[in-house]
Amino acid sequence: MKDEIVSTVLHEMMPLLDTGQSATLKEVLRAALCAYDIRKKETALMCTDQNGQNYLQVFLETFRQNGKSEGTISQYRLHIGHLLAYLGKNVEDIEDDDLIDYMHKYKQLRQVSGRYLNNMRLVFNSFFRWLQRRKVIMCNPVDGLEPIKYRKTVKKPLSPEELEKVRCACGKERDLAIVEFLYSSAVRVSELIRLNRDDICWQSDDVLVLGKGNKEREVYLNARAHLHLRQYLETRTDDNSALFVSTRAPYERLTRAGVEYILARLGQAAGVDNVHPHRFRRTAATDLLRMGMPIEQVQELLGHVKIETTRIYCTVTQEQVRSSHRRYMAA
């Protein structure tokens, strides 16, 4: 168990440490843990997998054919597979009370939020609705579950002042290049970490990214992103093809955890809360709409299939409403 903890920590810290530092951290962790008796907390429900896995595999394959990302498919496999294993019933025999019981116990064991449980309910609904359409089951047991209420929080974009504070907190060319790239391109962090140097077309400031469902789309660099990305790449002495790498040998490609860690540290240094990759995406979308870019074009830039998703990303401030009212109601 202790070795598992050490391995997990080292894996997450790999983008930020060189070989010597990793070795030192490994020894420190082992020394610190040796005096403790560690057991893994039991957070899993009892599983007796008997039925439904074949249906689940076909269901997930339809997701893959429809272009769903592997991350989404993994999430569905985890939640539905766990439910089927726990219940140990034929899918035709699963009732709404079974789901209510499962979700109640899941919440008790995992201490998850109402938002998390409601998302789980939606995952189950998608699977059982698919079974219903295929006439495997007559009724969808999720129909008997009420939507789970939870407190919705407004996800705010970075204000111009907050964005400038984060920029000023960047002590490394790489970190500033990441900030400017995320804001200019509005890419997902999963797209950012897959990019290579030769994905950049410097003449036109185009970047070809591979998005959800392996769909390619173009995003663009503004002048600041172009400048700071150039400056960062000129400081690099490694031969790694990745666009963003760790600052110490062996200069590994940055991982999702690495980028999130870098931005969180910048937020702390800047005194700005909740600085993470997705917030730059939301900020870019909101700012582009505020400046008059048609929402259909913002949708294309973000790589959204549905325009309703783009609307969720874009925050309208009270000041914008006030300004528009004065403009249109001037008479």
Question: Which residues have a catalytic role annotated?
Answer: 188, 212, 278, 281, 304, 313
For tokens 């008790």, name the residue: 108
For 17, the token pair is: 């440490």
